[in-house]
Amino acid sequence: MSCEWRQRSEVDAVGTGGLSAAREKVRIDRDRLREWLFEQALPLWSTRGIDALHGGFEERLSSEGAPTHEARRARVQPRQLFAFVGAWRLGWQGGAEAIVAGGLNYFEHHFRRPDGLYRTLIAPDGTPLDDAVYLYDQAFVLLGLASARRLFGTEPDHERVAVALLERIVTRLKHEQGGFETGLPERLPLQSNPHMHLLEACLEWQQLTDAPCWRVLAEELVDLALRYFIDRDSGLLRETFAADWSAAPALPGRLIQPGHQFEWGWLLLKASGARQYEARQGALQLIEGAENCGVHRGVAIDELLDDRSVYRASARLWPQTERLRALACAAALGAEPRYWLLAHEASQSLMRYLNATLPGLWHDEMLPDGHFRIGAAPAGNLYHIVGSILALDEALSASTAAQVVPPRAPPIGPAGIS
């Protein structure tokens, strides 16, 4: 089953003048998203999103902006570290240093197991609730440590802690046919998604240090994606696998998530190494496949089947951010001029989710009928949102550097995002 390229005539018609106009729209989108982040989201999440009694980050805020005081997952805490450091990189001056130091101290004190790996769930007061180890969580710990290293420099020695954790991951979780187990105790199916975030952490560390372990693992993960995760016949990215890295049986092996196709897309675009050309070709194939078949009603939907038919037409917030991130990265590399126009479309889609009843919150899920499900805002989405704004910022900086005279944008009015 094939999919027609959405609005092909419009995106293919981008000429020199149209390219400048599309890039200018993206610049305005970046500024509006950053304004929302600085003026609405961060004032809320840097106060109500942090537990003043126990420390650490709250899992969710209610639609009224109140902390839900839920059990805390290992994956969310380092995501918040990344988000606040990312905001600092974008120019926020709201005290990222104290927030990150406090969050990291809480995390290390309560989530770290005696064996140096990290448990998956605790109560707000730090009481362990689930001592299981998941590769997904360990990958985000590495990303959170990289964020702390970026913010604080070489003191304290976050790199030493990260390398020690990486060694434990390789020792305890390495899979005999390449890649890694899903967790401890070992279980099936194997999953591509944790490897994606492990690659993300490796690429982040490669920007900060020359230690070869990050490059070696990143190249292994790229090879794993090209060899097993991306189906050679369809070009789609599979989620779950049997022990030999063949597709998992029955329905789980057929499910395709457009959001993960976009996410793997931008990661493979940023990867270097011996297979960089293949990685970029695979990345653009993933991005185009997700854009062709995974975008409906103007948003990236949650799930397809491997025949490209729609399986779950709801649309979470996070796929919108990863779509934007992938298109921005593709635009920055000069892959095709139409990616600037598509990045603008993706920015507009994301902004729809940020128009919540309380400034600084977001809708987490759009239902198939186009309405948003009303409920609490998950803290982990801040990581996705900040990452997409950083990608826009980097794409525009790269584009500006390539121009003799950068274009000047019209002023942005005081109104918020609509």
Domains and CATH numbers, the chain: 75-229 (1.50.10.10)
DSSP class per residue in 238-275: P-EE-TTSSBPSTGGGGEE-HHHHHHHHHHHHH--STT
Distance CA 238, CA 399 (A): 33
Regions of the chain where pLDDT drops below 70: 1-17, 335, 402-418
Q: How many CB atoms lie within 10 A of CB 42?
A: 24
Query: Contact at 8 Å (CB) between 175 and 184?
Result: no
Query: Contact at 8 Å (CB) between 80 and 386?
Result: no
What would you report as the CA-atom Rg of the chain, rounded to the nearest whole angstrom? 21
In the prediction, which pLDDT does 337 show?
A: 86
Residues 6+ apart with CB under 8 A from 146: 158, 162, 201, 204, 205, 208
In the prediction, which pLDDT does 155 show?
A: 83
Distance CA 232, CA 196 (A): 18
Distance CA 337, CA 14 (A): 6
In the prediction, which pLDDT does 30 show?
A: 98
Gap between the terminal Cα atoms of the chain:
37
Distance CA 270, CA 163 (A): 22
- Amino acid type, 193: N
Query: Contact at 8 Å (CB) between 255 and 240?
Result: yes
Distance CA 98, CA 103 (A): 8
Distance CA 265, CA 290 (A): 10
Q: What is the DSSP letter of 252?
A: G
Per-residue tokens: 325: 């991130």
Q: Which residue matches tokens 């940023």? A: 270
392: alpha, beta or left? (left if phi > 0; alpha if psi -120 to 50): alpha
- Whole-model pTM: value is 0.93
